[in-house]
Amino acid sequence: MTTTLLIASTNQGKVREFYSLASGLKLELVSMSDIGPMPEVAETGATFAENARTKAAAYAVSSGLITIADDSGLEVDALGGRPGVLSARYGGDVPFAEKMRLILDELRDVAAPARTARFRCSIAVADPSGRIVCEADGVCEGTIAQEPFGEGGFGYDPVFVPNGYVETFGQLGPEVKDSLSHRANAFLQIIPYLRGLT
């Protein structure tokens, strides 16, 4: 019998990445849109790890399924680590194009060498009782571009240039992003646990 794993996200970009990252595993992946409406879980933690644990546990109990959740965001050194855990809510309830513009405006007087940043991701897996059974953290270091470039990816991808590249995540294809992203780095650490489920 195949084990079912719920991806606790309504963000279709994240869901696509999880499907891609888990493609070699013998698991049946389902997203929240596959199982119907569920109560929203507030992300009130002070860290990405706290939010990932809270979401994984709550959605596992609600669904009765083993559940994987993540919380991730952008940390910009010249902004004291902002937007950090507030990445999705930075600048209020506005499209990501406006959130990116806000960050670029805040960095307008910051020279390229000081525009260092990272994407950080925390992943948690919970069993159907809500017990956290596996956790991992991943980071992708880079810099913030002068302007958004590219239509690919989602969120802040068009302004983030990973170290070793000259193009943003918005310009790089999903295969490249999936090989080096913060989410990929965290996911690789939990693969041994997920393989044990099959």
Q: In sequence order, what are the residues at sequence separation of 6 or more whose Cβ sits closer than 8 angstroms to the Cβ of residue 84?
A: 73, 74, 75
Beta carbons of 123 and 52 less than 8 angstroms apart: yes
Residues recognised as catalytic: 71
Contact at 8 Å (CB) between 34 and 165?
no
Chain-centroid distance, C-alpha 99: 16
R_g of the chain computed on alpha carbons: 17
